């Protein structure tokens, strides 16, 4: 793989909260990592679910090369359209201008009817990405922090009887938004209608590497728990969404240019900021994701696709 020339560095892993997040220093992500460094970062991800790096200098090619040391890099997004850099289709840019281009003029995310938009990336896919790597190019002087929550800790915090109840349940995840419903003529409405994504995933997912059980629902994409009445589903999802939003399970990350967040998309949810649109200064970040596996529940049964293909490298 051409990585044998890499030399070990002295990585420092500093946890940032009781359950979630660690800051890793002492490494240049633009250089090939040693096997020991890869293992240190993987181990930190298994424990803390998201790791952060500061002061990195990465162009698109270097960000993709960094991610490729941990898995196969996917295309930018199932609904990327023509907004990815032509030579780097793996890059998904997160900025107000990018969203306007991708989804329609003056697109703005609306508040989810299920409350704050905690989510894992693209869970309506049959195989949601295993990891996401987000790099900050420009950030406003304040505002725009991203929050992350450890959903393995959320599961462990539930009463045993509740854990036993949700272990056997499955839920539908579907790609749609309130913006889509209200403005169906916008680009995203057309994209979702012509290429719908929907899957039924276990409510509790067994992590394929750590074997931990995680709460695998989120208020952005999970529409209903199947085989329950609508009212039963709503109450149970509300309970789980309230637990996901408890501050003790979360960490809040303040971006700086050159900051990187690398999270396990199977064990962490994140919350995009809504507090910076009135603040002067651009906010431009670039994300890549790694090919994921099909979720499996405690009963050993895998997810089922309703609509959409396996999401892998182009």
Distance CA 19, CA 56 (A): 25
Q: Cα 110 vs. chain centroid, distance in angstroms?
A: 18
Is 121 considered catalytic here? yes
Helix (H) or strand (E) holding 180: helix 178-182
Number of CB atoms found within 10 A of residue 186's CB = 16
Known active-site residue 119? yes
Q: How far, in Å, are 43, 137, 312 from residue 207 at the CA level?
A: 14, 31, 19
Which residue in the list 174, 205, 266, 287 is annotated as catalytic? 287
- State the catalytic residue, choosing from 77, 121, 131, 286: 121
Angle, helices 96-103/187-194, rounded to nearest 10 degrees: 60
Per the residue annotation, which of 77, 92, 102, 119 is the catalytic one?
A: 119
Choose, from 170, 173, 174, 270, the residue flagged as catalytic: 270
Tell which residue, 159, 127, 270, 150, has the closest CA to residue 215.
150
Give φ, ψ of 98 to 5 degrees: -65, -40
CA 65 to chain centroid, in Å, comes to 19
Q: Give residues with Cβ within 8 angstroms of 229, minimum separation 6.
A: none
Spatial neighbors of 211 by CB under 8 A, at least 6 apart, are none
Q: For the chain, how far is it from start to end, CA to CA, in angstroms?
A: 20
Q: Is 270 a catalytic residue?
A: yes
Residues annotated as part of the active site: 119, 121, 270, 287
């Amino acid at each position: 793989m051409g990585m044998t020339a890499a030399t070990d560095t002295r990585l420092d892993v500093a946890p940032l909260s009781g359950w979630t997040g660690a800051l890793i220093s002492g490494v240049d992500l633009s250089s090939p990592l040693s096997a020991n460094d890869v293992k240190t970062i993987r181990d930190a991800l298994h424990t803390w679910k998201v790791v952060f790096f500061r002061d990195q200098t990465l162009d698109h090619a270097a960000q993709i090369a960094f991610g490729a040391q941990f898995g196969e890099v996917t295309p930018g997004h199932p609904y990327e359209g023509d907004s990815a850099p032509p030579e780097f289709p793996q890059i998904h840019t997160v900025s107000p201008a990018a969203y306007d281009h991708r989804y329609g003029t003056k697109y703005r995310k609306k508040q989810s009817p299920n409350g704050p938009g905690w989510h894992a990336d693209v869970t309506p896919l049959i195989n949601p990405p295993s990891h996401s790597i987000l790099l900050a190019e420009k950030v406003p002087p304040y505002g725009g922090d991203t929050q992350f929550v450890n959903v393995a800790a959320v599961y462990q915090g539930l009463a045993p009887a509740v854990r036993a109840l949700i272990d056997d349940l499955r839920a539908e995840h579907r790609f749609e938004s309130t913006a889509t419903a209200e403005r169906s003529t916008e680009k995203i409405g057309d994209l979702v209608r012509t290429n719908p994504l929907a899957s039924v995933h276990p409510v509790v997912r067994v992590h394929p590497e750590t074997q931990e059980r995680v709460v695998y629902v989120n208020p952005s994409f999970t529409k209903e728990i199947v085989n329950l009445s609508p009212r039963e589903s709503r109450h149970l999802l509300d309970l789980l969404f309230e637990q996901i939003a408890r501050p003790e399970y979360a960490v809040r990350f303040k971006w700086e240019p050159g900051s990187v967040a690398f999270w396990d998309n199977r064990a962490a949810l994140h919350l995009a900021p809504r507090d910076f649109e009135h603040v002067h200064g651009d906010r431009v970040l670039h994300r890549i994701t790694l090919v994921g596996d099909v979720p499996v529940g405690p009963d050993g049964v895998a997810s089922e696709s309703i609509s959409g293909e396996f999401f892998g490298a182009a």
